[in-house]
Amino acid sequence: MAATIRDIAKEAGVSVATVSRLLNKSGYVGSETAVRVQQAIDRLGFRPNAIGRSLSTAETRTLGVIVPALSNPVFADAVSGVTACARQAGYNVMIAATNYDSAEEVEAAGVFMERRVDAMILTVADPQQSPALDLLDAAGLPYVLIYNQTSCADRPAVTIDNAAAGAEVARVLQGLGHRRLAMISGRFADSDRAIARRDGFLAEARSAGLDAPPVHEVDFIALNVDTVLKELFRAPATAPTALFCSNDLLAISVIGALDRMEIDVPREVSVIGFDGIAIGTHLHPTLATVVQPSREMGEAAAQFLLRRLAGEEAAPPCRLPFTLRLGESAGPAGNARPADLQDPAYTREGDSHDDQ
């Protein structure tokens, strides 16, 4: 089997991005590192013909999709939208999951480039400083982000306004009479979306004159919430009456852990998640959540790339609207007066934007 740039990177003890920079002459590589890479190339008999846009003449009619986890239905929904659009246009789809690991993002991007995908759709940990996106930029490979929010004009994205959604959660909880709020989130280092949701949530709580909600991080994959919750509820008199979770899987784990602690949701504590995964409507209590139009996001990203690949003028990607669905897991605070409360069937649609 022919050696790949991943094999070269492993043999030389460097990243795939470093090998790419050397092969494409697209960035600085130190002399000692360059020697190691060249020696690895010589030992493995690598022929550098599977990298860069020299491959553009060998169209494969394949899109690559890189997401943090397929175990989270929100990403599976987006992939479903991508796949439907791609197949209708006669394209295949290759999929990789990175487990919220930026090194795996680079590896997956390198592998897809070796396999000559025509374009990529990605969700990365940090779109402002992403080695995977640097690799694609250096190679000139078309791509579009989904879920990520980026201020970089040349890194197009299809997303929602995560900060506005986080603020809306805080407003709704205040409307339900809650004054002691807290947030449980996946690691901020792994998700720019979680950061934006936190920032909007905290800013709205601050503007309402509430004490700053405590914020706790947990692993996105392990969802190890028990220790955090035991600390939060150690002193019942000061414990939060409402929790905002940065995604629905985390919210479901929190509700389960609270049940094990014999804390009733929503009578004693309200819980609001984020994503709008379908299983949330089948739980008891049903999950209150910010609903992202995930399938539509995947479709919009695929349509943008397909138009570009067809040589057509492609409209810039956009921010799509979100909705806040108030399920049974969010209820009034114990000391709230009925006149203060939102309609329990409350649903709000967030604004959509055509810019980044």
Sheet strands (E) in 79-137: 92-97, 119-122
Q: Whole-model pTM?
A: 0.80
pLDDT of 90-124, one tens digit each?
A: 999 999 999 999 999 999 999 999 889 999 999 99
Say if residues 257 and 230 touch (Cβ distance below 8 Å): no
pLDDT for res 351 = 55
pLDDT for res 34 = 85
From residue 212, how far is each of 166, 270, 274, 300, 302 by CA, in Å?
14, 18, 20, 37, 40
Tokens of 299: 């479709």
Domain residue ranges of the chain, discontinuous segments joined by +? 1-51, 162-293+321-349
pLDDT for res 25 = 61
Residue with tokens 């985390």: 250
pLDDT for res 9 = 86
The conformation of residue 3, written as its DSSP 8-state character, comes to -
Three-state SS for 244?
strand
- Strand pairing report for 92-97 and 62-67: parallel
Low-confidence ranges of the chain (pLDDT < 70): 1-2, 24-27, 47-58, 153, 335-356
Query: How far, in Å, CA of 233 to CA of 64, rounded?
Result: 44
From residue 196, how far is each of 20, 188, 243, 347 by CA, in Å?
32, 9, 17, 21
Fold adopted by 1-51: 434 Repressor (Amino-terminal Domain) (1.10.260)
The listed CATH number (3.40.50.300, 3.40.50.720, 3.40.50.2300, 3.40.50.11540) that belongs to domain 162-293+321-349: 3.40.50.2300
Query: How far, in Å, CA of 293 to CA of 277, rounded?
Result: 10
Q: Evaluate whether 1-51 and 162-293+321-349 have a shared fold.
A: no
pLDDT of 295-348, one tens digit each?
A: 999 999 999 999 999 988 878 778 999 999 999 999 999 744 434 444 444 445
Tokens of 256: 């389960």
pLDDT of 54-69, one tens digit each?
A: 444 467 899 999 999 9
Say if residues 103 and 130 touch (Cβ distance below 8 Å): no
